[in-house]
Amino acid sequence: MNKYTAIDLFSGCGGLSFGLEKAGFDVRVAVEIDPSAVMTYQKNHPGTRVIQSDIKKISGQDLIQAARIGDACLDLLAGCPPCQGFSRITTRNRPDHNDPRNKLVLDFLRITKELRPRLVLLENVPGLSRTKLFSKLLSALEKAGYHTDWAVLDASDFNVPQRRKRLIMMASRVGDLKVPKGSGAKRTVRDCIGRLAKPRKAHDVLQKMHLKNSSRIKKMISRVPRNGGSRAAWGDEAQLACHKRTPGFRDVYGRMRWDDVAPTLTSGCFNPSKGRFLHPSQNRPITLREAALLQSFPRRYRFPPKLGLTIISRLIGDALPPRFGEAQGRYLFNFLISRQHFGGW
């Protein structure tokens, strides 16, 4: 079987790497600056060299040496540059926001030019597609000899039990390609977490880990109707003061629906005050294991409990859903096979 090489930049805790490995890629190197993400990545990808560093301090030559591929060409450079500066909430609240992390996309471009991999895969929030920075990225890649294509896709169309729109950009210097579309078949919250033990009866440490609310909040949660209900059921008088001041964000303290996909999991997905993150029928927020499964991580994926609720929730919420990454990876893997067999390098 062909074994194509890959490098994962901004790897986080390893969601994209896991998907690429499932698709058949040999992920040789991952680069990540966050020590908690690095710790989690190493526990799940012992065969990958992880470089804990600021990407700005990394050169293409550093990566080639770490990947141990000699004079061979890297097959795939993939990455998910931090996207907070392009997110819908950020741009809505501060339209002129100049987040320095935005420019990390240019470091992704720099390393692409230095390595000249056969294929490139970039994931980000849809908002990036509306920026001059994205136009600059596409133009630079095309000038460097790459064919490009991009699309905004919903992870729920790729067997991920979650509504999550993401920008996928692919580039190739070994032939024209097209970003693959999903099947549209949905995997529901019930399919994903419906058979899990209740936290107090679970043997899985992550299934025991969820936010412990105050008695007052627990009482309010119990009044949210089961299976998709919202805080609207409390009535105007019972709304929290912050909700009265800000009429938006109506999903906070909402429940997920059993027979629908979950909402987008964010870094605050452990906290019902951050979104529709209440269990469909139990009077509690979702657990860390439930969050990981809804993000499409397998049960065997290890998140060190000592990192705590807030950090693990952030790692899960910031990750690319592995099943989503696997779908893109399978397309690219098969594309390489077809080009090698019929077109050559």
pLDDT in tens, 40-93: 999 999 999 999 999 999 999 999 999 999 889 999 999 999 866 665 554 444
pLDDT in tens, 82-137: 866 665 554 444 543 466 667 899 999 999 999 999 999 999 999 999 999 999 99
The burial class, CB within 10 Å (0-12 / 13-18 / 19+), for 212 is exposed
57-60: list long-range contacts, CB under 8 Å, 24+ apart: 58/31, 58/111, 59/111, 59/114, 60/111, 60/113, 60/114, 60/115
Query: In sequence order, what are the beta bridge partners of 113?
Result: none
What integer pLDDT is reported at residue 96 of this predicted model? 38
Q: Are residues 39 and 176 both part of a single domain?
A: yes
Write down how long the chain is. 345
Does 306 have pLDDT greater than 50? yes
**Domain shared by 56 and 163, yes or no:** yes
Same domain, 114 and 159: yes
Q: Are residues 168 and 254 in the same domain?
A: no
Which of these is catalytic: 13, 80, 83, 192? Answer: 83
pLDDT at 87: 56
Looking at 87-96, 130-139, 182-191, 256-265, which range is the least confident one? 87-96
Instruction: Please choose, from the candidates 133, 108, 131, the residue with its C-alpha nearest in 3D space to the C-alpha of residue 121.
Output: 108
Same domain? 51 vs 64: yes
The residue segments making up the domain with residue 85 are: 5-182+320-343
User: For residues 321, 324, 329 and 334, what is the CA-based torsion angle, rounded to 10 degrees?
Assistant: 160
| Mean pLDDT value across the chain | 92
Distance CA 307, CA 235 (A): 38
Residues 274 and 241 in one domain: yes
The answer to whether residue 242 is catalytic is no
Indicate whether 335 and 201 sit together in one domain.
no
